[in-house]
Structure 1
Amino acid sequence: MNKFDEKYTIRFAEKADISSIMNFIEREWKSDHIFARNRDYLCYEHQFGDKVNYILAIDKATSNLEGILGFIEASRSEEHKDIWGVMWKVREGKGNLPFLGIELMKRLMAETKCRAEIGVGANPKTSVPILKVMLGFHIDKMKHSYRLNGNTDEFKIAVINNKIILPVIPSVKQYRLQKFSSIDELTQHYDLERNKDMIPYKDAWYIERRYFQHPVYNYSVWGIQDKGQTTSAILIGRGISINNSKVLRIIDYIGDHSMLSGLYDEFGALLSSQGYEYIDFYYYGINEKHLTDAGFVLRDENDENIIPNYFEPFVQKNIDIWVNSSVSDVVICKGDGDQDRPSLVAGVS
């Protein structure tokens, strides 16, 4: 027991706490945040029976909720449990003990007994320095690569001042994409348990709930196969339509990273057949050469082009995404944590 236990009750949330969490997010985070307005979606992300995946700090004297830290589990495995931290917030103003937020993070890691705690979308001016200095977390910026459609010069989503189309590399073996329509079909072709030593480990429970059963978004799930139809990796994408145009975003990747190198032809076919302006991918822990081999260009600070990240609402601006992790050897994709979640779903039920 420490000074935080003297002042606060720190515990996991329960179903009865959902309204308080929503009110806290509305008051302390953002009044129109989806978790402040849409109970169903918050429950989809965080509720499992009576259990709600938030850790709370409640003032013992006032019974007021003073801090929250949400989390998303990557699997049901206890031995290989990896989690993403989301919605990390302490009430602003006087009255709270310093570093209550840090204490919530420590409690989350201790109570879940997680192998790794990962954050996607950290604020480089606020949470990043705290995580690095006080918790010793590994901090970095995600890479962002994109491949433009070589058959069009009309871009309504991207802003293209320098159109770069990389040629295919003849020496790189090409693979095929096989679309899966269910988790059963995926697991018939690919054993997700082979990735238990990779961080984060995403099991069939997570993949089904996150991508095949998402209540708002429609995801495409492909296996990457060689000519013998052996599946060595999983690629997940989401198409977005706006401004009378559309793009394809790679949201997640699981498996052998080198298989990406052999998708030059398949990505080209998707761009041509679907009329996408571009395909893009935010990632960390994957060698960018695999993307370059597949025709992608790395967007860096000197890039003249704009490849937007925000679509709800749409913001035509380049965005850097910072990540943090309690371990160094980790792979992070755009779909991890709560980065690829809706923001414009209305209604409270």
Structure 2
Amino acid sequence: MGAVRTRLAESRDRDALIEFIRDHWSARHVFVSDPDVFDWQYRQADGRINMMMAEDVAEDGHATVLGVLGFIPTGRFDPDLGDADILLALWKVREDIAPPGLGLRLLKAIQAQLKPRMIGAIGITDAVGPIYRALGYTLDRLSQAAIVNPAFKGRTRLAQGVPEAAFAKGAVDTTRSLCKLDPQRDSDVVAVLAGRCCPQKSWAYIRERYIDHPWYDYDLRFVLHDGRPEALLVWRSVEAEGARILRIVDSIGSTGWLPSGTALLRPVLTEAAAEYIDIMGCGLSAENLQAGGFISPEWCDGLILPNYFAPFEAKNIRIALSWKRFDGAAGADAMCLFRADSDQDRPNQPLPRRTAGSGQAAV
């Protein structure tokens, strides 16, 4: 083996990286079948590909990819946010020829070169949990909970084992309401809410990540508390087995709306003819969720809220995560991680593209 070097990937590495994923991860990966998804997740306008790669460099200069660690900085969707907050994604080293410790070397290279204030990873395996813990990361999980549409009592196709209590009327809250985001009017409001989060987001981030998404049509609505924006909720419709649910993939701002979940979200379910609306997030208060009429497999025995829809799998999934702040800030109170952070809400199969901001597939 020659010299092993680590470096940030560039546009010229795109094909080699996709081939590495095909040969050493999965030939059926969406990045292989639809490289546009790879580009959307990792490729920046300046030509950088957000992957730290390790190569074996022979004496003649030929380089063989030994491993990659993909990452998604919030700056991927708003260059002004830079590399301050980073979520890790695909992490793979060759088991046949990679030297010991290469995966850890890739992680340390990201920290050393980009100097982020925060690194997080959503969807980690049990095997890497102890490694993150030894490096001083906090280990946590995405908690999943749902509000159920009472119109589907006794005939839900997607959720299973729904308890009777899930169909209760719920408390009335006259202090909170939902309001659709108006891109022409609300950019400043979004900027204020998003700037308080870790990972930090922005109006440009929201537009690029959600409003102009190439494949998904997201619904963005403010939670108003006494008429003032308290949070921005982002959800999308997901269908399987001839049924539909809504999936909250991001909540930006305060989570103080959770105890008002039933009052806020039941009308949305009626409007969409959806079985339920769910949320998966880090650090969501079980007490507030229960007060809002949410149900969860964590406290409802036998309840199944499926996670995988493409293809559909009728089972609960535990999504573990880790995160670490390097700026000395106090931890969990400032950390807000949801399904759309990292790579937990992107196509797993090729899809028709949509017209930016229109909600319609491009023709």
User: Which of these residues, 116, 119, 122, is aligned with residue 117 of structure 1?
Assistant: 119
The alignment partner of 2:231 has SS state of: strand
Matches for 1:129-144 after TM superposition, within 5 Å: 129-133=130-134, 135-144=135-144
1:18 aligned onto 2:23: no
Shift of 1:193: 4.1
Matches for 1:230-241 after TM superposition, within 5 Å: 230-241=228-239
Query: Does the 8 A contact of 1:234 with 1:253 survive in 2?
Result: yes
Shift of 1:12: 0.7
Query: Does the 8 A contact of 1:175 with 1:224 survive in 2?
Result: yes
User: Which of these residues, 28, 31, 39, is aligned with residue 32 of structure 1?
Assistant: 28
Return the alpha-carbon distance in structure 1 between the equivalents of residues 279 and 193 of structure 2: 24
Return the alpha-carbon distance in structure 2 between the equivalents of residues 197 and 276 of structure 1: 31
Matches for 1:264-275 after TM superposition, within 5 Å: 264-275=262-273
Matches for 1:163-312 after TM superposition, within 5 Å: 163-165=164-166, 166-169=168-171, 174-182=175-183, 184-188=184-188, 190-193=189-192, 195-228=194-227, 230-300=228-298, 303-312=301-310
From the superposition, tell whether residues 173 and 290 of structure 1 become closer, same or farther in structure 2 (CA, over 3 Å): farther
From the superposition, tell whether residues 233 and 174 of structure 1 become closer, same or farther in structure 2 (CA, over 3 Å): same
Aligned to 2:338: 333
Matches for 1:73-92 after TM superposition, within 5 Å: 73-75=73-75, 76-77=79-80, 81-92=84-95
Shift of 1:163: 3.2
Shift of 1:227: 4.1
Query: Does the 8 A contact of 1:123 with 1:322 survive in 2?
Result: yes
Query: Does the 8 A contact of 2:190 with 2:203 survive in 1?
Result: no
Return the alpha-carbon distance in structure 2 between the equivalents of residues 236 and 148 of structure 1: 18
The amino acid across from 1:51 in the alignment is R
Query: Does the 8 A contact of 2:306 with 2:317 survive in 1?
Result: yes
Name stretches of at least 5 consecutive residues in structure 2 with no aligned partner: 326-330, 353-363
Q: CA RMSD in A?
A: 2.2
Query: Does the 8 A contact of 2:245 with 2:276 survive in 1?
Result: yes
Aligned to 1:107: 109
Query: Does the 8 A contact of 2:296 with 2:303 survive in 1?
Result: no
The amino acid across from 1:118 in the alignment is G
Query: Does the 8 A contact of 1:116 with 1:325 survive in 2?
Result: yes
Q: Deviations over 1:259-312 (max 9, x none)?
A: 233342221111222221111111112323332232212321762121100011
- What is the TM-score with the length of structure 2 in the denominator? 0.86
Query: Does the 8 A contact of 1:85 with 1:337 survive in 2?
Result: yes
Matches for 1:50-61 after TM superposition, within 5 Å: 50-61=47-58
Shift of 1:319: 0.6
Q: Deviations over 1:134-191 (max 9, x none)?
A: x221112221111221122211112135333244235x55411111253x44314x14
Matches for 1:153-172 after TM superposition, within 5 Å: 153-160=154-161, 162-165=163-166, 166-169=168-171
Q: Percent identity?
A: 27
Query: Does the 8 A contact of 1:267 with 1:294 survive in 2?
Result: no
Return the alpha-carbon distance in structure 2 between the equivalents of residues 226 and 197 of structure 1: 17
Return the alpha-carbon distance in structure 1 between the equivalents of residues 87 and 200 of structure 2: 12
Return the alpha-carbon distance in structure 1 between the equivalents of residues 196 and 98 of structure 2: 39
Query: Does the 8 A contact of 1:37 with 1:346 survive in 2?
Result: no
The amino acid across from 2:158 in the alignment is I
From the superposition, tell whether residues 226 and 302 of structure 1 become closer, same or farther in structure 2 (CA, over 3 Å): closer
Q: Select between 262-271 and 13-22 the one with higher mean Cα deviation.
A: 262-271
Query: Does the 8 A contact of 2:220 with 2:235 survive in 1?
Result: yes
Return the alpha-carbon distance in structure 2 between the equivalents of residues 324 and 66 of structure 1: 24
The amino acid across from 1:257 in the alignment is T
Return the alpha-carbon distance in structure 2 between the equivalents of residues 234 and 203 of structure 1: 12
Query: Does the 8 A contact of 1:234 with 1:255 survive in 2?
Result: yes
Return the alpha-carbon distance in structure 2 between the equivalents of residues 79 and 240 of structure 1: 31
Return the alpha-carbon distance in structure 2 between the equivalents of residues 239 and 197 of structure 1: 27
The alignment partner of 1:236 has SS state of: strand
Number of residues of Structure 1 aligned to a counterpart in Structure 2 = 336
Return the alpha-carbon distance in structure 2 between the equivalents of residues 221 and 28 of structure 1: 38
Aligned to 1:69: 69
